[in-house]
Amino acid sequence: MGPFRTLYIDMNSFFASVEQQVDPSIRGRPVAITAMENEKGCCVAASYEAKAFGVGTGTSVVDARRMCPGIVFLPSRHRLYVRYNLQVAAVLDRFCELERIRSVDEFQVALSGEARALAGARALVASLKGAVAAEVGECLRFSAGIGPNHLLAKIAGKLEKPNGFQWLSADNMPDRISHLELDDLPGISKSMKARLLRAGVYDVGTLCRLDPRHARIIWRSVEGERFVRMLQGMNIEITPTKRSGYGNSKVLAPELRQPREAYLVSRWLIEKATSRLRRDGRVASSFSLHLSPMDAPRWARSIKTASTQDTAEFLRINRALWIRAWPYVRWKKLLGIGVHLGDVDMLENRIGDLLAPLAPAERSAGERASAAVDFINQRFGEGTVTYGINRPHPGFFERG
């Protein structure tokens, strides 16, 4: 049995558990985390006490209140959850080799020594559970899975919740996961499931036994071959991804759904996206605006530009796109908006411009001014300096 290479840790109802850890008065009670503080929103997370009543991610606030009388609704505090994520990561890294923080509630650990055998891995997981409870909080529990690669370890980690431990290897595959639906597997979307069904792959067992070369054809990508080979137990390293762009999107609060208010929110989103762009030393050469009216098709347009990290330049492009969109959206309420800076590259790779004039990798006056704004806001607080009028819409990711 084994050897096992990867331990995957999946925190149980993480957002709700953090809130219960912070506030002892709601421990043992059904709790739902919402993205918006009104009856129009939906749940983005739920405690196991709430899940027992059928409340889950995507359940509307109205339905959750009906399904689970006495449920406690709390607004999301993403920064709080990130702080707890880092505390858990610090504990894990002290006991073993923390390879990756896969998300705010998932961690990937490399196994070595005695932990590559089932008994040793089981003992390690028990130690980690005890340490997280003692050092981070007794409400913080996780399910763990081990496998010969990260994919099988992740699948194993979702087989027994909450607070479980499972393993997958050649000794119990594919029978151990034959009860799962194709789209229960990570990476299999509804559209990919439909493609697999058209190819005659109707269940997980058939997928596990598929010729990897056939999978490449079905996926129309080498990723299909990689996926099936990992299901069959091969250890394939995660391919590093290249950053394709910087974006922000927002489901608008009811009071900000008029186009004039939504336009001010878009300016705020651009300030945040361009600040991250500069932080990473990158430039972008395209800008996209997405507007989602209520009860009407989405409006979206993109514009190419010279590569830049100048916030003022992207604000000018945003204004131009809003002028084009105005006849379509002026009488509509907007449910959501999004901005995206695309075609990114490193500033150090930008060639010079004789007409500007700019030397290779040299910042323009506007880019230097933008960097100065970043410095002031970092030192004295976000929003100390803004690029004219905007409308902050913190919501999910800025609370805490």
Catalytic residues: 106
Residue 142, strand partner residues:
11
> Which one, of 373, 277, 269, lies nearest residue 322 by Cα?
269
Between the alpha carbon of residue 182 and those of residues 46, 56, 194, the distances in Å are 25, 21, 10
> Which one, of 146, 188, 150, lies nearest residue 171 by Cα?
146
* Cα dihedral sign, 258-264-265-267: positive
Element of type H or E holding 259: helix 259-279
- Count other C-beta atoms under 10 Å from residue 293's C-beta: 20
96-126 b/e (C-beta count within 10 Å ≥ 16 → b):
bebbebeebbbbbbebeeebbbbebbeebbe
In contact, 290 and 299? CB cutoff 8 Å: yes
Spatial separation of the C-alpha atoms in residues 248 and 228, rounded to whole Å = 34
Strands, E, within 111-214: which ranges?
A: 142-147, 165-167
Instruction: Compute and round to an integer the Cα radius of gyration of the chain.
Output: 24
Which residues, at least 6 apart from 126, have a Cβ–Cβ distance to it below 8 Å?
Answer: none
Which two three-digit tokens encode residue 365? 């006056």
Which two three-digit tokens encode residue 275? 């600040």
Half-sphere exposure of 257 (CA within 13 A, CB side): 16
Angle at 137 (CA atoms; ends 136, 143), nearest 5 degrees? 90
Spatial separation of the C-alpha atoms in residues 253 and 41, rounded to whole Å = 9
